Amino acid sequence: MSQLIPGILFAALWASAAVATKLGVQSVHPLILANVRFFIAGTGMLLFAYGVQRTRDAWPRGAEWRQLLIFALLNTTIYLGSFVLALKQVSAGIGSLSTATNPLFITLLSALWLRRRPHRNEILGLLLGLAGVGVATYPLLLNSYATIEGILILLFGVVAVSAATVYYASVDWRLPNLVINGWQVLLGGLMLLPVTLLSADFATAHYDLRFWGAVWWLILPVSVGALQLWFFLIRQDPVRASLFLYLCPIFGFIYSYVLLEEPITSYTIAGTVLVIIGLWLGRKQ
């Protein structure tokens, strides 16, 4: 019971990121939304760590800058950059569903990183997860709620964040978590900035209430609230904590249906079931 309420709240907040992003990109180019979020969140975390907490001996040095840059490139620049770009072309529900496949890619990449043969369950789980995304996406492609390009960008981002997770676990970090997150978000935003300046349409951007609401929701309830709940759940029981990831696509489709009027069909339900079964198989080993 001590995990139930925090776990459900975590899944509800984490799944809301896709809807908030979908709303934000209606006001500005996706990369503008991403960069504003990265600069505010990264600067805020570093100011809190160095100014409020006054964390000692927490300034990156030597090889730590290279490690932070690699992690930032994969986790923030490529993954979150791809995510916001894809949400311009796919439904919020599919965005949440694809995010739920992240543990499957992590499991497979970890096996390759450790040079061990992936277990049958891991491969089958990944295939079921991808099949689930495909089944749920099929009617959305026909009704212009998704495009092939958007799906491919989304999956590319999921592979990138999975690689970032495996890389993060391979590094013996000296810096506190808040400092690592602050720098990787800020550095990721800086690396994304040239792409934003070259490709984003600033003339048609509307910095309205919808835009700022999306930015602050992504920063506070999602990046701060959901992650703090996730850290709490992991400290209690990492295995049980992972079960709450299964709720994310369910919440995601409910949000997209209620807030964005995106359709929920039998394909949606079947695809979500396949992803959940794939997650269960992939993490069973």
Residue range 201-225: average pLDDT? Answer: 92
pLDDT exceeds 70 at position 130? yes
pLDDT exceeds 80 at position 235? no
pLDDT exceeds 60 at position 285? no
- Coarse DSSP helix, strand, coil percentages of the chain, rounded to the nearest 5 percent: 80, 0, 20
pLDDT exceeds 70 at position 239? no
Q: What pLDDT is stored for residue 193 in this prediction?
A: 96
Q: Using one digit for the tens of pLDDT, what is the confidence trace for 46-74?
A: 999 898 888 778 899 889 999 999 999 99
Q: What pLDDT is stored for residue 276 in this prediction?
A: 81
Percent of the chain with pLDDT over 70: 95
Q: Are 84 and 17 in contact (CB under 8 A)?
A: no
Q: Using one digit for the tens of pLDDT, what is the confidence trace for 87-121?
A: 888 888 888 877 777 777 777 787 777 777 777 77
41 vs 114, more confident: 41
- For residue 274, what are the contacts with CB-CB under 8 A and spacing of at least 6? 128, 129, 131, 132, 135
Q: What pLDDT is stored for residue 127 in this prediction?
A: 82
Arithmetic mean of pLDDT over the chain: 85
Q: Using one digit for the tens of pLDDT, what is the confidence trace for 211-220?
A: 999 999 999 9
Determine the Cα–Cα distance for residues 257 and 82; give it in Å rounded to an integer. Answer: 23
Residue range 243-261: average pLDDT? Answer: 83
CB atoms near residue 280 (< 10 Å)? 14
Determine the Cα–Cα distance for residues 229 and 245; give it in Å rounded to an integer. Answer: 12
